Structure 1
């Protein structure tokens, strides 16, 4: 998104906030967490599962001073400290945000804008199923941090890395993590794992995100195998294999 489009968002009432890098942590060589300081931004923030922001990053390919926006899920919001974190999957084919994240250093300043769209989970939900790839993990982390303790959660993640167990997994009682090794087309093993382990159940909500073909493979499992309509499920594509991501 070019600079003129940032101006359009401002006209729409979307306000940009200054954020500053304060620390960086690598869970694996390809999964990085960056903590930002933004006291004004996080003050009074209504944090809920999958809350995300638009982060404006330099895009030298567009020209000097040009920026692009990418969406990221809030992780570890700490209003008392005035900080929040974002997790970055460092794709081999990186976009401007991924390239920036690789070389980011404490003290760097960017701008971010809030996008407070909230997922509507039906009242009476007693179980939640979360699925995706590594790019969905930040959103899954936000789910686990805010879902009531009375709700059972099952997480299914498809990933080919040998070090995926080093990734952040929000500690929460009543949560089951299942890591699935890809087999064949992207998402096929994930869809098969959910189909084999799960059956239709009342009062369940299902959510999935990640690479487009993976999400496409999971969507009919939610609809046809688990019998969930759109009010009881949500899917979203975060990236497309073969295109620059992040």
Structure 2
């Protein structure tokens, strides 16, 4: 995930006690790389990353905390003391959070790789990533996540726009090398296509937004796929409008079981991150209610 709020997934899991998320750690920029004109990579590390937990899932994500300059009080466990940090902020200031998929993590060096979609000077994290220099600090909360490819699936469908590209890339790397299926990725144009490590049997199909409406080409490409006769497991993440349409198609028309589908709107056209985060829970509840009324499992 390269923007917006944390994912909502629908795979069925066994009931467990909620895990308390660890306090944030203090990370430093180690190095940066511009992958494409609209995709920037930042590698975080430094001594403050030592308490960070190893991410488990293909869709593992962290929340980056951007705070005004000032002290970064540490607790006895080496993590940021959240209450002390909050108390140290100037009046009216707060830590602003943005969620990003973990592209890679090296537990030996505690280096965390994140990819950022960049829209010029728009937004908070994208401009930060472009301007980031070694030694710059940022808070890291997490990791979260709930989904990894099911190796027992007969076929795999991975769908996402640029915001979901890191998660799809990790999923492709984790698929069995004899896996089959389709990955559909929507980016602005051909300059935004990157090399992905996909099994030979998984077609990677790029579609372009260009000056059109985000998500339209993505939905069309999924609907054009010749649907397999055997069980399909799907991962679909991106703009909320396209995700809603694809969810209806996969659940109602293709009868993909709830436990075989991880799907979430990472962002919403016309809404900023805070606005979408506030509306997302109700949006998801309405979709769930509609599926329940339709008798979908």
Q: Aligning the two structures, in what range does the TM-score lie when normalised by the shorter sequence?
A: 0.7 to 0.9
Structure 1 residue 232: deviation in Å? Answer: 1.3
Structure 1 unaligned spans of 5+:
1-11
Give the TM-score normalised by the residue count of structure 1: 0.82
Detail structure 1 runs of 4+ shifted over 4 Å in the superposition. 62-65, 120-123
The partner residue of 1:215 within 243, 246, 253 is: 243
Give 1 or 2: higher strand fraction: 1
Structure 1 residue 111: deviation in Å? Answer: 1.4
Does residue 24 (structure 1) correspond to residue 52 (structure 2)? The answer is no
CA distance in 1, matches of 2:199, 2:52: 24
Q: Which structure exhibits the higher relative contact order, with contacts defined as CA atoms closer than 8 Å and separated by 6 or more residues?
A: 2
Does residue 15 (structure 1) correspond to residue 23 (structure 2)? The answer is yes
Distance 1:180 1:46, change over 3 A: closer
Q: Secondary structure at the match of 1:106?
A: coil
Q: Which residue in 1 is equivalent to 2:196?
A: 169
| Match runs of 1:96-175 below 5 Å | 96-119=124-147, 124-165=152-193, 167-175=194-202
Aligned length: 232
Structure 2 unaligned spans of 5+:
1-19, 70-89, 275-297
Mapped contact 2:28–2:45 kept (Cα < 8 A): yes
Structure 1 residue 79: deviation in Å? Answer: 1.8
Q: Which residue in 2 is equivalent to 1:33?
A: 41
Mapped contact 1:121–1:232 kept (Cα < 8 A): no
CA distance in 2, matches of 1:169, 1:137: 10
Structure 1 residue 27: deviation in Å? Answer: 1.1
Query: RMSD between aligned alpha carbons?
Result: 2.8
Structure 1 residue 30: deviation in Å? Answer: 1.4
Distance 1:22 1:138, change over 3 A: same
